[in-house]
Amino acid sequence: MATVNQIPVLPYGVGSVSRGWLAAIALLLLVFVVGAFAYSRQFMYGEEVTGLSDVGTRGGAPWGLYVVFVIYFVGVSTGLMLIGVVAELLKIGHMRAITRIAEGLAIISLLLGAMSVLADLGQPLRGILNFFRYAHPMSPFFGTFTLVVSGALFASVIYLFLTLRPDAAILAKRKSGLSTFYKWWASGYKDTPAERARRERSSIWLAFGILPLRILAYSTLGFVFGLQVGRPGWQSSLQAPGFIILAVVSGAALLILVAAAARHIPGAREELSIPVFSWLSNLMTILLGVYLYFLLAELLTTGYTSTEAGWRVTSSLLIGQFAVLNWLSIGMLSLATALGGWQLIRRSYSLSMIVIAGVLVTVSAILQRYLIVVPSLTTGHLLPYEEGTYTPTLIEYGVVLGLLALGALMFVAFLKLVPILAIHKESD
């Protein structure tokens, strides 16, 4: 493809701008503008333009699509960071090729999760102000914002900064329009044995800090649901571990899809080889089996021992208004598990089958978050209210699409500033 401006001295398409890239940017910007317009309508007229409503007398759900994507984005970020950090700590050779993709996507997903929270707030500026005025340190909501948005984001950015310094030092020596940027990033790094050892120690200690922080942070988001005693359907000790398992599964699925697309970047195909995808597929398949067991255990427990209100939630998932989405989601997860399990048993892997499983898991993971949030709000009433309904409006879909487009724009910009794969050390 012809290029408008290309700087050949930088690897993996860094700094190059092609017509195809500009067309993709234009399309993503268009979708983002549509999302911004949708949010402007919500900002002006309030959440009356959404499908959100109070439970009970108004028969709706105060949490909907925005909270679904808060859980999804933060979960994907957690899963991606855990995969990347574990691959680095265990020094899994072929897996280290995708750690940079995982780290970049993790940071972007976390930012999108924070923006989804703001989209859900009817008056976001007042919400931010009141958080500092009235926040209670013992509340899971407080832990979600401080650990997830602040602590985890800060630690992830520092970790990415450290891991990229050697590559920045190499690129700073090459004449390009980005050399000043890379000199700043390298910050005097010379790649001497002492510097390598110091950077390695720092990265390891930071990784050991990130692992429990990420697990604790996303578990806290699970506790936001599991500790609400007045909401049948959420009262489960499996909420927090289920959130973590689904987070890693979602992260592996997204990483499969993005890495498969990244194989089209010049020079990346050899590094992003089948062993990379087979490892991700095996991880996703094993954890899918665990998550399906969690779902079965939860359905059996709530089906036999629930109160009347709890049974209404379970019934809505099995045979009620959410049954189609529930069985569709379980079916997709089961099919993805079967595809991955068949390849794992045969020790023969097909990239197309792995990608199909990744698509199934990604769609199903979003549905699972929806089925966690909405049914308990519309059917799990302790008071004698009628069964409620929730249907997202075009405004909500527009805002979510705008956030997805913004995330894609940030990742495309990331690819043009940072080599998607580690650069092998040059000989002097």
In angstroms, the CA 198 to CA 221 distance is: 34
In angstroms, the CA 2 to CA 349 distance is: 34
In angstroms, the CA 180 to CA 200 distance is: 25
Phi, psi of 12 (to 5 degrees): 55, 35
In angstroms, the CA 196 to CA 92 distance is: 19
Q: pLDDT tens digits, the chain, 428 residues: what are they?
A: 444 444 446 777 787 778 888 899 999 999 999 999 999 999 998 888 999 988 877 778 889 999 999 999 999 999 998 898 888 777 776 777 788 889 899 999 989 998 998 899 878 888 778 777 777 777 666 666 666 667 778 888 888 888 888 888 888 888 777 888 888 888 878 778 888 788 778 878 888 888 887 888 788 788 888 777 777 878 777 888 889 999 999 999 999 999 999 888 887 888 888 999 999 999 999 999 999 999 998 888 877 776 777 788 888 889 988 999 999 999 999 999 999 999 999 999 999 999 999 999 999 999 999 999 999 888 877 777 888 889 999 999 999 999 999 999 999 998 888 888 777 554 33
Q: Is the dihedral of CA 360, 261, 401, 243 positive or negative?
A: positive
- As a whole number of Å, the end-to-end CA separation of the chain is 33
The count of other CB atoms within 10 Å of the CB of residue 138 is: 6
Q: Per DSSP, what are the bridge partners of residue 302?
A: none
Q: What is the pTM of this model?
A: 0.90
> Domains of the chain: which residue ranges?
1-51+396-415, 59-221, 266-382
